[in-house]
Amino acid sequence: MSTARKTALKVLLEIRESAYSNITLNKFLKESDLSAADKALATACVYGVLDRTITLDYVLSQHIKTPLKKVHPIALESMRIALYQIMYMDKIPDSAAVNESVKLIKNSKQKHLSGFVNGVLRSVLRSEIKLPDGNDAKSLSVKFSCPKWIVESFINDYGIDDAIALLEFSLLAPPVTIRANTVNLSLESLINKLNNEGITTKKCQLDGALEIVGGIDVTKSVAYREGDFHVQDIASQTAVSILNPNSQESVLDICAAPGGKTFTMAQYMNNTGKIIACDLYEKRADLIAKGAKRLGLKNIAVCQNDATIINKKFDEFDAILCDVPCSGLGVIRRKPEIKYKDISEYTDITDIQSKILQNCATYLKENGRILYSTCTLRKCENEDVINAFLDKHSSFELKYQHTFMPHKDGSDGFYCALLEKSR
C-alpha cells in the first residue's frame, strides 16, 4: 500500500475536523519517513482533493445512491483521492489510483467497505465524466469547486468576467514572495545569497520584494535561518508601503499575527521608532515575538490584546495598521479549506470589523492615518465597512483604496484603504 496515499488520507480526515491544511500536512510529513517523491504525491493529493472537493463529489454522487454525507468519512476521502488522480493527474494510471484507494480501505477498520469503494470507482471508470459548462452560479460552483454562495458573492460584487477569473485563479498554485530584511542586508546581497543556495528569484515592482522562481523550500535556507527575509505576499507588502511608517513614528498593529506586516513596517522604520504589535491569543502573539527575534528587529513590542475592546493603556499613535479578521476569500488558493466554511460563520464579521476600526480611530493622533485591510474579496467586508465608517466620522478622509486580485495584480486577493484624520 502506498504510504503517500495513506498519509494523504490521514491528513484529509483531520482537516475535515477543522484543522488547518498547511499545519496538519506539515506535521504528518515531518513525522513520516516518506521519500521526497512520496511527500510530493501526498501533498498533491491533499491539496488537490481540498481544491476540487465539490467537483469530485458532483461526479461521485452520480454513482452513489446514498447521500454523500451518509458515506463513511474514510470511504469518502479514499474515493476522492482516487477520483482526483483519475481526473487531474495524468501520469498515474487510472487502475493504480483505484487499486491503491481500495487497499486503503482494506487496511483500515472499515475493510467491509472495500467492495463498495471498488464498485463506485470502477463505475466511474466505465462512464464519461461530464461537468456543467454554463455560466450560472450553480454550474460555476461545480466547475471550479467553489460553494455557490461565494460564486454569487463574486458575481454580485465584480461581475461575471472577474468572478470567473477569480475562480480560475483560486485553483492555481500561488506565487511565493519574500521581503528582504533591509536592516540586515541589501536586496542584491540577498539575491546573491539565495542564488548560492540554489534558489532563483526575480525582482518584483515593489522595492525590496522578490518572487521565488525555483530551488529548495525557501524557509529551509540558511538565509531564512539567519533572518535575511520573511515570506509575505506582494499585496500585503504593498499595503505597508501605502501606510509608509517612518523612523520617527509610533505605530500600532492591532491584529498583527503572524507578523508579516509588522516586520515590514519595522524595516521601513529602519528598526527605530516604536511598534506595538497585538493579537487576541497569546500563542499567536508569541509567533510575532519569535519572528522579530529571528529577523533581529528590536523596535517591536508584542502584547496580547482584544481589539474589539478599548485598551485605555494605549497612547495615541501616528499610524495604525488595522488588518481585521475576515472571511479570507482572497487566500483560498493557499488555504482551500476556508471556502468550505458555511456563510453563517460570518454573520457577525462586519460588526467585529467595524468595532475594531472604530477603536483604532480613538487611538489615533491628529493628522494620523489608519490603514484598514483584509484578505477577503467581499465588498461588504471592505468598501461597505469603510463607507459606513466615513459616514460617521467627518474628521477622516479616504486617501487611497484598492482591491488586489490574483488575475490583475499577481497577488493574493486583498483590500486596503488609507484613512487620514484631519482633526
**Residue 224: CATH number of its domain:** 3.30.70.1170
Query: Does a structural domain hold residue 162?
Result: yes
Do 212 and 254 reside in the same domain of the chain?
A: no
Query: Does a structural domain hold residue 132?
Result: no
Q: Do 260 and 172 contact (CB within 8 A), yes or no?
A: no
CA–CA separation, 62 vs 386, rounded Å? Answer: 45
Question: Would you state the pLDDT for residue 2?
Answer: 55
Question: Would you state the pLDDT for residue 98?
Answer: 95
Number of structural domains found in the chain: 4
The conformation of residue 181, written as its DSSP 8-state character, comes to -
CA–CA separation, 239 vs 367, rounded Å? Answer: 19
Q: Which is it for the CA torsion 130, 133, 138, 140, positive or negative? A: positive
CA–CA separation, 136 vs 91, rounded Å? Answer: 33
Q: Which of 231, 248, 277 is the last residue of a domain?
A: 231
Q: Is the peptide bond before 258 cis (omega within 30 degrees of 0)?
A: yes
β-sheet bridge partners, residue 414: 404
Q: Do 253 and 261 contact (CB within 8 A), yes or no?
A: yes
| Residue in 43, 47, 67 with CA at minimum distance from that of residue 57 | 67
For the chain, the residue count is 423
| Catalytic residue, candidates 146, 204, 255, 375 | 375
Pairing state between β 274-279 and 300-304: parallel
Do 198 and 241 reside in the same domain of the chain?
A: no
Do 12 and 74 reside in the same domain of the chain?
A: yes
The three cell numbers of residue 321 are: 495598521
C-alpha distances (whole Å) from 225 to each of 20, 184, 231 are: 24, 13, 12
CATH code for the domain in which residue 19 is found? 1.10.940.10
Query: Does a structural domain hold residue 216?
Result: yes
Query: Does a structural domain hold residue 325?
Result: yes
Q: Do 264 and 243 contact (CB within 8 A), yes or no?
A: no
Residue with cell 508579516: 260
Identify whether 375 is a catalytic site residue.
yes
Do 111 and 89 reside in the same domain of the chain?
A: yes
CATH code for the domain in which residue 381 is found? 3.40.50.150
Do 162 and 278 reside in the same domain of the chain?
A: no
Query: Does a structural domain hold residue 207?
Result: yes
Print pLDDT tens along the chain (423 aa): 458 999 999 999 998 887 678 888 888 888 888 898 999 999 999 999 999 999 999 999 999 999 999 999 999 999 999 999 999 999 999 999 999 999 999 998 999 999 999 999 999 999 999 999 999 999 999 999 999 999 999 999 999 999 999 999 999 999 999 999 999 999 999 999 999 999 999 999 999 999 999 998 999 999 999 999 999 999 999 999 999 999 999 999 999 999 999 999 999 999 999 999 999 999 999 999 999 999 999 999 999 999 999 999 998 999 999 999 999 999 999 999 999 999 999 999 999 999 999 999 999 999 999 999 999 999 999 999 999 999 999 999 999 999 999 999 999 999 999 999 986
The conformation of residue 175, written as its DSSP 8-state character, comes to P
Do 313 and 206 reside in the same domain of the chain?
A: no
Query: Does a structural domain hold residue 163?
Result: yes
Q: Which of 161, 196, 231 is the last residue of a domain?
A: 231
Do 219 and 263 reside in the same domain of the chain?
A: no
Do 195 and 307 reside in the same domain of the chain?
A: no
Do 260 and 395 reside in the same domain of the chain?
A: yes
Query: Does a structural domain hold residue 348?
Result: yes
Do 226 and 239 reside in the same domain of the chain?
A: no
Do 386 and 300 reside in the same domain of the chain?
A: yes
Rg, the chain, Cα only = 23
Contacting residues for 10 by C-beta, under 8 A, at least 6 apart: 28
Question: Would you state the pLDDT for residue 1?
Answer: 43
Q: Which of 215, 231, 247 is the last residue of a domain?
A: 231
Query: Does a structural domain hold residue 18?
Result: yes
Find the domain containing 85 and state its range. 3-126
CA–CA separation, 186 vs 208, rounded Å? Answer: 8
Do 143 and 277 reside in the same domain of the chain?
A: no
